[in-house]
A = this chain, B = another copy of it.
Amino acid sequence: MKVALITIGNELLSGFTVNTNAAWIGIELGRVGIEISVQHTIQDEKKDIIFELEQVSKKVSIVIVTGGLGPTHDDVTASAFYSYFNDTPIFDEDYWKDLTDQFSKINYKIPDVNQNQAMKPKKGDCIPNDFGSARGLLYKINNCLYFALPGVPKEMKAMMKKSVIPILKDQVTNPFITRTIRTTGIPESALAEKITNTIDMRTYNCSLAYLPKLLGVDLRISSQDEQQIQKFEKKIKPVIEKYVYGYEDEALEEVVGNTLKKCRVTLATAESCTGGLLGHRITQVSGSSEYYLGGVVSYNEDAKINLLDVTQETLTKFGAVSEETVKEMALGVRKLFSSDLGISISGIAGPTGGTEEKPVGLVYIGLSSVKDLIVKKFNFFRDRDSNKQISTQVALNMLRLYLRDE
């Protein structure tokens, strides 16, 4: 089954928006065994969209179009679909009433320009949008399926999951099955070495891909035979177990959160260079208030002294980015929140502020419990955002390993 993905938008061609939608759709279709064979990005021009529909429908049986369904004059996808399929849309009074109600709830009078979003096709169907006013379109013509979805990632993703993928899944006869194993704390090459030393790929009817990202390496095993995947996983598991934190799209903060909840252990955070990112990640998990009590962003010295009981002496003698300070921060925040665990981060995020002795990327992470006080030192990257991201990942992984070994 061949899929063509057409992403529409001048902002994609100009580079103002990176085409993360295309990557996301590629991954999600891959999960159900469907591959994209061609992906085109074109301008918001009706004639270009019609030209593309003509071209790709010669080569594929499924066409997914994203973008250009908004209310303004440069949103021409729906109009291109109506022309291409010789359809005459009609005004959907019920949907217009819904839209008007939604706008009035947020105290806005609905602009007239939104009226085009209340049109519905005669020959095709509408795809509901739970997060926005732009409904999608679906036409089935000559055994070919044509979908139009909005370009706003949140809306597109929800509609793909709820409406598009279930339809496509039904059409796949011999699907590829994939299994994603998520690791952190080991570089791609070291992970590859461990695996190739353990297993002879040729004896398994499945393929393995390494997907390295800033925060870890995902392993993707795929095959048409589920048993082969299970056997393969069972074989490599023992040598990589320490680094495996989850499967499929589980996030590390979710895995750690589940363990904290299950063990009824509470947590507080003391952040300096990460500025609140660790707390943000922990609270991305619904229900995190059951184990996360809160935190302090001690961005300046006074906050470290007044809130976290770091001593002036420690700061003067060793500095804010030091093993000693991070120890006191972890102890201090655990005391302040009366939590079971306290975790602390202090480092030099960069790009400025480094010295020869304490370069950009130097980060200390501390973990305090009733019986333990652990501090680890790291040398990460040269850029601010990467340093903040990786610091929180390592902190969460320290928590995961600590809870596992308890």
Contacts and interface: CB of A to CB of B under 8 A. Distances in A.
A172 interface: no
A318 interface: no
Interface string A263-300: 00000010101111111101110111100111111111
A113 interface: yes
A113 B189 contact: yes
A27 B14 contact: yes
Given A190-B111, A280-B280, A294-B300, A209 B39 contact: no
Interface stretch (A139-147, A161-169, A239-247, A383-391): A383-391
A302 B43 CA distance: 54
Contact of A294 (B36, B269, B298, B337): B298
Nearest to A385: B284
A57 interface: no
A296 B296 contact: yes
A280 B275 contact: yes
A37 interface: yes
B19 A23 contact: yes
Contact of A278 (B16, B211, B276, B300): B276
A338 interface: yes
A297 B270 CA distance: 10
A286 B388 CA distance: 12
B35 A38 contact: no
Nearest to A290: B300
Interface in A301-338: 302-303, 306-307, 336-338
Interface in A352-406: 352, 379, 381-386, 388
A335 to B, nearest CB: 11
Contacts of A295: 276, 296-297, 299
Contacts of A275: 276, 279-280, 282-284, 288, 292
| Most chain B beta-carbon neighbours within 10 Å: one of A55, A114, A275, A286 | A275
Contacts of A105: 379
A14 B36 contact: yes
A70 B302 contact: no
A274 B193 CA distance: 41
A255 interface: no
Nearest to A196: B113
Interface in A7-56: 10-20, 22-28, 30, 35-44, 48, 55
Contact of A190 (B28, B108, B154, B292): B108
Interface stretch (A76-84, A86-94, A212-220, A225-233): A212-220
A95 to B, nearest CB: 15
26 contacts: A10-B220, A13-B35, A15-B27, A17-B23, A17-B211, A19-B22, A38-B43, A70-B212, A71-B192, A108-B190, A111-B192, A111-B193, A112-B193, A113-B192, A113-B193, A131-B382, A275-B282, A276-B278, A279-B279, A279-B297, A283-B297, A293-B299, A294-B299, A295-B297, A296-B307, A297-B297
Given A19-B23, A39-B42, A276-B279, 18 more contacts: A15-B22, A15-B23, A15-B26, A17-B23, A38-B42, A39-B41, A40-B41, A70-B188, A70-B212, A111-B190, A113-B189, A130-B382, A131-B381, A276-B283, A277-B280, A280-B280, A288-B299, A302-B338
Interface of A: 10-20, 22-28, 30, 35-44, 48, 55, 70-72, 74, 105-106, 108, 110-114, 130-131, 152, 154, 178, 180, 187-190, 192-193, 196, 209-214, 218, 220, 269, 271, 273-280, 282-284, 286-289, 292-300, 302-303, 306-307, 336-338, 349-352, 379, 381-386, 388
